[in-house]
Amino acid sequence: MKDFLVQLDDLPDETLMSIFKKLCNFEVLYYLMDVNQRINRIARDRIFTHHLCLLEYCRIDDSSIPLSGPILDRFCSKILPEIGHQIETLYLERTSIERVLRATNYPNLNSLGLCDIDDDKLVMFLSSDTNSAIHLFNNQISSLFISFNKKNNSFVNNTSYSYIFAKILTIFTNLQCLKFNPYLPISGTLFLSMTLETAISPTLLELHINVFDIKDCNHILDGRFDQLRILRVNIDTIGFYHTYKELNVEYFYYILFV
């Protein structure tokens, strides 16, 4: 290992940077920080620290695999306190959210991803009477990604999702982009009629969401999101009596149905 590091240190910075780019950012930070002064400087470059996905399995549209205990321990105790001010985007999985968000200060964090999270756990995090770390960033976050743990579809889950959706728009006061369970159109369907009183946002510019039917789209397009410019929507059910002419497109430059 020592000989390998000597050979690695003989390479020019540009070559080392090209090699490190082949790795996940968390691998660069975990394995190379504090190896020596020069490699530590390269590993702490913004290209490896501004976007950090703390998942062993890095595809955020599937179930995530948490980092092992020793890796997470080192991140929380050593790495994150040193680079927290550089992190702008952070993706976490359900078992590490509170611990990572409380590990240090993140003054430049503006994009947060909560991956494979249980709906009941997120309800707890968002609850007004819970001292959740998520509330520490309510004014910072402009982009939020949420994917729920894969469960059987049920009325209970759908009502939870509707509550969470409304709560997010209340808590995150500067939210501009919300991707709400965009990859699971059936198990993540929203009943927007349940959130009409609270699902209002004057800042939201982009929304990725799953809804029950086209009537729910009209709830989005009725002016409560009057700054919205991009809507990507999965529709669970389109009845024979619905037509796309029913949609109010007054507030949108671009609407994409998938």
Name the residue with tokens 């003054």.
Answer: 107
The residue extents of the domains of the chain are 110-235
- d(Cα 204, Cα 178) in Å, to the nearest integer? 8
Q: For 177-230, write each residue's pLDDT tens digit.
A: 999 987 654 545 565 655 555 567 789 999 998 877 777 777 777 777 888 899
Which residues lie across from 111 on neighbouring strands?
89, 143
Name the residue with tokens 């929507």.
Answer: 233
- Judge contact between 24 and 53, C-beta under 8 A: yes
Q: For 116-166, write each residue's pLDDT tens digit.
A: 888 888 888 888 666 678 888 989 999 999 988 866 555 456 678 888 888
Q: What pLDDT, on the 0 to 100 scale, is given for residue 55?
A: 84
Q: Amino acid identity, residue 205?
A: L
Q: What pLDDT, on the 0 to 100 scale, is given for residue 89?
A: 97
Q: What pLDDT, on the 0 to 100 scale, is given for residue 213?
A: 72
Q: Is residue 107 over pLDDT 50?
A: yes
Q: What pLDDT, on the 0 to 100 scale, is given for residue 186?
A: 52
Q: For 83-93, write each residue's pLDDT tens digit.
A: 999 999 999 98
